[in-house]
Homo-oligomer: A and B are copies of this chain.
Amino acid sequence: MKVTELAKSLRTTADTVRYYTRLGLLKPVKSVNGYKSYSNKEVSRLKFILSARKLGFSVADIMQIINESEDGKSACPLVRSLIKERLEETTKQFQAMLTLRNKMSLAISQWEKMEDKAPTPHMVCHLIENFEQIEKT
C-alpha cells in the first residue's frame, strides 16, 4: 500500500500518514521505486492512532501508549490516566472558549451602537481601546 492509498482507506490525508511515519509511529518498508510501502499491520496501527486522536490524546500520548504495548504491557492503566489529564485540559480550554465567545458577542453588540472614528496618534481604534471599560459597566 502506498501513502495515498492508506490515507484514503482511513479517510485521512497523505500528509498525516507521512507525518506519523516521520515520527516513527508507522514503519513502512521501502519498495523498489523508493516509495514507502505499508502493510496491513500499519493499517490497524493507523486506525488506532486516528481513534486515539479523536478521543483527544496527543500524538506524544499515543507514542507512549504504543511503546507501553510494544513492551508487552497492558496500556490500559496509562490510557486511563492520560485521558483524565486531557479531559482537564479540554475542560479548561472549553471554558476559556466560552468566556471568549461571550466577550466577543458583547463587543459586537456594544459596537453596534458606536460610530466609526478616525485614528489619532494615541488611538488605533476606539472600539477596541475602550472596550475594557465598556465591559466593566
Contact = CB atoms under 8 A, between A and B. Distances in A.
A80 B127 contact: yes
A132 B54 CA distance: 10
- Interface centre among A73, A117, A128, by most B CB within 10 Å? A128
Q: State the copy count for this chain.
A: 2
A83 B108 contact: yes
Contacts of A122: 41, 44
B124 A101 contact: no
A79 B128 contact: yes
A16 interface: no
Given A51-B129, A125-B65, A119 B56 contact: no
Interface residues of A, number: 57
25 contacts: A44-B122, A48-B125, A48-B128, A48-B129, A55-B104, A55-B128, A56-B103, A65-B125, A66-B124, A74-B119, A75-B124, A76-B126, A76-B127, A77-B116, A79-B111, A79-B125, A79-B127, A80-B111, A80-B127, A83-B111, A87-B105, A90-B100, A90-B104, A94-B97, A94-B98
Given A48-B129, A55-B128, A83-B108, 5 more contacts: A44-B123, A66-B124, A76-B116, A76-B117, A93-B97
Pairs A-B, 6 closest by C-beta atoms: A69-B119, A76-B116, A94-B97, A75-B125, A87-B104, A74-B116
